[in-house]
Structure 1
Amino acid sequence: MTTTAQEPDTEADLSDRPASVRGRGVVLTPLDVDDAELLQRWRSDPVAAHALGSWPRPLTALRERLERDIGSNGRDDFLILLPDGTPVGHTAVFNQDYGDATAELELVLAPEHRGRGLALDALNALTDLTFGELPLHRLQADTHATNDAALATLAAAGFAREGVRRSVCIHRGRRHDVAVLSLLRPEWEAQSRPKAWELPMPPETSG
């Protein structure tokens, strides 16, 4: 999980996209194949690529992957939008294993939208959607052991740090440790914050 990425020069208005779940200040909407260019720009940011461990891929390859993933029962991807439709990031639930009732999460937030609590808001909305609609018991998130921003966001969302996978990835010729964190269903149920479906709907705009 990372909270940095490159934002396009011009932000699209996606306010007409359907909402899968609303947070306090964000909306999660299903990722579409036509979002490939937006996603590529975010994931090509050097800091995001380092945190995600992603290798540069052509746009056509990313579109093909999105087409494949959209039809998969083991992965769900979402754009993170502001209420006015401004895209600010991407998040996903993947490696969904219904036998063991486990899945993993990832999140990428554009750098100019950091420091406003949007990553935590999106993460809470995603865990509410996942535990609220899927028969899962455990959600896992991995991040570099030195990614203090991601570690703080995960901790604020209730994720417990389980340990460190030592020297598990390579970037720019150096080995890096990865921290493993998880959130269990009973821990999510015990959280005192309102769940996403308990939040008030935004007021309608009169014409």
Structure 2
Amino acid sequence: MSENEMGSERDDADAGADADVATGRVPCWRGRAVAFAPLDVDDAELMHGWRSDPVAAHEIGLWPRSLSALRERLERDRDDHDRDDFLVLLPDGTPIGHIALVDQDMVDGTAEVLLMMDPGYRGRSHGTDALDALTDFAFGELPMQRLQAVTHTTNTAALTVLARAGFVQEGIRRSACLHRGRRLDVAVLSLLRGEWEALARPRSWDA
């Protein structure tokens, strides 16, 4: 690596640190192109905007609730030790999504992953970067053996992101949910520790 490249890397790191201070977000985990910061109750308004997007509501099957109801839910989740919720941040500190590990069972080593992106940042590989970083966190820092994800079989964007992150579809729960007057099938996908270990990509701590 040349001296100029080293200087460039230092400049990037300094810029990232400045962004952290400017936005008030202190990342607790970093991936290749995104970082995570703990989700806070004050992020309810931001989350409410994402959840109210019609595309997200259709693909995820969310019924947009009131801002106060979402804030109350975030307050309850804050005391739930079986989940970890993060804001997904760009290098400049801009929040672009929410990602979480929920229903964590430290004995069996299982958890479910959730991901929701800001509508303005979909289709730019940020979702895959975030999911890669979360799986690195789950298998590299926690004793997880199996991660699960579920989504409508018609949610091709989510299925594509999950496949890129190494998740394998293992089954379909037929007619598992009601959405917009129709019964929909739900795909069940998983990533096992051994499959994560075999992925040919840098880990978050190497990025």
Q: Same fold (TM over 0.5)?
A: yes
Give the aligned partner of residue 157 of structure 2. Answer: 149
Relative contact order (C-alpha < 8 Å, sep 6+): which is higher? Answer: 1
Tell me if structure 2 keeps the 8 A contact 1:20–1:27: yes
Where does 1:181-192 land on structure 2 (aligned, <5 Å)? 181-192=189-200
Would you tell me which structure has more helix in proportion to its own residues? Answer: 2
Where does 1:16-165 land on structure 2 (aligned, <5 Å)? 16-165=24-173
Tell me if structure 1 keeps the 8 A contact 2:50–2:119: no
Report percent identity of matched pairs.
Answer: 63
Q: Indicate the RMSD between aligned Cα atoms, in angstroms.
A: 1.4
Give the aligned partner of residue 205 of structure 1. Answer: none
**Which consecutive segments of 4 or more residues in structure 1 shift more than 6 A?**
none
**Greater radius of gyration (CA):** 2
TM-superposed deviation, 1:99: 2.4
Tell me if structure 2 keeps the 8 A contact 1:30–1:79: yes
Equivalent position amino acid for 1:189 in 2: E
Residues 157-176 of structure 1: CA distance to partner in whole angstroms, max 9, x if unpaired?
A: 00010011111111111111
TM-superposed deviation, 1:135: 1.1
Q: 1:193 is paired with a residue of what secondary structure?
A: coil
Q: CA–CA distance in 2 between the matches of 1:176 and 1:55? A: 15
Residues 135-155 of structure 1: CA distance to partner in whole angstroms, max 9, x if unpaired?
A: 111000011101111111111
Superposition TM-score, scaled by structure 2 size: 0.86
Superposition TM-score, scaled by structure 1 size: 0.86
Unaligned 5+ segments in structure 2 are: 1-20
Q: CA–CA distance in 2 between the matches of 1:14 and 1:124? A: 26
